[in-house]
Structure 1
Amino acid sequence: MLYHLASVFLALLFIIQGKYVRRVTPKLPEPAGRREGTYGSGTPLSLLIIGDSAAAGVGVELQRYALVGSMLNTLGPHYQVAWKLMAKTGDTSAELLEKIQHVESTQAFETVVISIGVNDVTGLTSSRKWSSNLAFISQALQDKFGAKRVLFSSLPPMHLFPALPQPLRWWLGVRAKHLNDLAEQFCQTNPQCHFVSAPFPTDRRFIADDGFHPGALAYQLWGEYLARILQEQLIKHA
């Protein structure tokens, strides 16, 4: 109730604060480094990482310190990972879906990790559209890449982002939690999909200079956690 009242009565303030944040927040580039390859030794594993700026690794300078690098470092001693990163700053769930549907690829990926949703929060994607996009993304991943396992990583705690002023920070945080709840509900009804409640650290030293994206330490923890969840699932279904 409070969220909906704030949406009506504080709408103008949120717009002003949003424009201010976009104007003063540093625009960090996506990190340099390879976006596909083979890494490690052991049991073959195919891995696709897709999504927005966090999936792309914004907040660090090199992919080796980003999400993909952290996951590969954890999986590498046990698996030979054929991997690919398909992520872009600013993408919403709708834009991600469109890219999946139109990508030209004959490569199959058994496992897909998705980080998406922050731009759906700031772009005010409706609850119905968000849930619909998740369903279409899941199906498109199966059709396009033969995905057998889709890990949806939770949205970060936007109510704690230093770059966001109050009350905009609180308002976006409530929306992010709601989209997380919807994603978890979706995964509970789709056996091939798994919602991963990532342990995003809230200490300022884990956040990039823009106050919005993960820093190297956060990517390390996030990637290691996702890799461990994936390993548990692979062992369980071996």
Structure 2
Amino acid sequence: MHYLIFILIAPLLFLQGKRVKRNTPKLPEAAGPRAGRVGEGCDISLLVFGDSAAAGVGVESQQQALIGVVSQALANEYRVEWRLLANSGYNTAQAMRMLRTELGTQSNLRFDAVIVSLGVNDVLSPLSAKRWIEQQKILVELLSVELDCQTVVLTRVPPMGDFPVLPQPLRWFLGRRSQEFNRHLEQFSIQEPRFTLLDFGHQLDAEAMAIDGFHPGELIYRDWGLSAAKAILLNKSKVN
């Protein structure tokens, strides 16, 4: 139904999209190193991978962003070797090309745990949800086999119908699109035991989001990171 409505109001949605892109402040990726080591104990290697949310857009430093929260939480029990591989604006296909490039230059690239943030830029594109899930299947295979990763954490697409920066009816349409993507992702998670499906962990209200109304704020990154760390620790305990 929402695609039928899209056809009827496509010119309006297009104009709203252009206006949002023009008027929304472009925030930088969080500052700080993209690799490091923290904690003491047994070794665990961690990769945060994906788009602008993975890159920490919306907060000032990587310590406040997803990689900082997760690595600090895991450092309570492990010696964490962490790395961030993310770029603003990347969709799933672009992110996989980036990862394959890294694999081509570093043949011994391996991680115990990978947290993935992808989907928003796919929702914003003409890509169908079914095609996106096919890409997620390839991604899970790539992470599980090529990176020999035992714990893969995929994050649900955020509820874009709650993004304060989006006007109606664009907000409604993208909200329905993100819901459709998540339904397919949930179905895939039932069939595929090699990954854990994760929520952001906090309502995307205006106060919790970044000043652009589009990216996570510090509170969302904290809840998301703690949830991801919990999922990694739970899976480690099952494996051990």
For this structure pair, what is the TM-score category when the shorter chain's length is used for normalisation?
Answer: over 0.9
Question: How big is the alpha-carbon RMSD for the aligned residues of Structure 1 and Structure 2?
Answer: 1.2
SS of residue matched to 1:65: coil
2:234 is matched with which residue: 211, 220, 232?
232
2:40 equivalent in structure 1: 41
**What is the TM-score with the length of structure 1 in the denominator?**
0.95
CA drift at 1:157: 1.4
Query: Residue 22 of structure 1: CA displacement?
Result: 0.3
CA apart distance, 1:43: 2.4
| Structure 1 residues 148-193: Cα deviation after superposition (integer angstroms, max 9, x where no partner) | 2211011111101011001100110111111112122222222211
Q: How far apart in 1 are the matches of 2:109 and 2:65?
A: 23
Amino acid at match of 1:9: L
Tell me, in whole angstroms, the C-alpha distance in 2 between the residues paired with 1:216 and 1:235: 28
Determine the structure 2 residue equivalent to 1:147: 149
Distance in 2 (CA, whole Å) between partners of 1:203 and 1:18 is 20
For 1:232, the aligned partner's letter is L
1:29-48 superposed Cα distances (whole Å, 9 cap, x missing partner):
10111111111112221111
Structure 1 residue aligned with 2:208: 206
Q: Which runs of 5+ in 2 are unaligned?
A: none
Distance 1:42 1:204 in 2: 39
CA distance in 1, matches of 2:236, 2:109: 20
Matched letter for residue 86 of structure 2: A
After TM superposition, the structure 1 = structure 2 runs for residues 151-166 of structure 1, keeping only pairs within 5 Å, are: 151-166=153-168
> In the alignment, residue 70 of structure 2 is paired with which amino acid?
M
> 1:94 aligns to what?
93
Instruction: Report the Cα offset of residue 230 of structure 1.
Output: 1.4
1:1-238 alignment, distance < 5 Å: 1=1, 3-103=2-102, 104-105=105-106, 106-238=108-240
Number of residue pairs aligned between Structure 1 and Structure 2:
237
SS at match of 2:53: helix
- Distance in 2 (CA, whole Å) between partners of 1:216 and 1:62 is 10
1:195-219 Cα offsets, whole Å, 9 max, x none, are: 1123232332211010100111111
Q: Give deviations 1:46-78, integer Å, cap 9, x for gaps.
A: 111101000000001110010111111211111
Q: Which runs of 5+ in 1 are unaligned?
A: none
Aligned-pair CA distance for 1:4: 2.1
Q: Distance in 2 between matches of 1:60 and 1:176?
A: 23
**Match of 1:226, SS?**
helix
Bigger mean CA deviation after superposition, 111-120 or 127-136? 127-136
TM-score (norm 2): 0.95
Partner Cα distance (1:187, 1:72) in 2: 25
User: Structure 1 segments of 4 or more deviating over 4 A?
Assistant: none
Partners of 2:96 and 2:131 in 1: how far apart? 12
After TM superposition, the structure 1 stretch with the greater mean CA deviation from structure 2, 49-58 or 192-201, is 192-201
User: Partners of 1:179 and 1:130 in 2: how far apart?
Assistant: 8
Q: Are residues 79 and 189 of structure 1, via their aligned partners in 2, closer, same or farther at CA, if it must alter by over 3 Å?
A: same
Q: Which amino acid aligns with 1:48?
A: L
The residue matched to 2:43 in structure 1 has which SS? strand
| Identical-residue share of aligned pairs (%) | 39
The answer to whether the 8 Å contact 2:35/2:82 transfers is yes
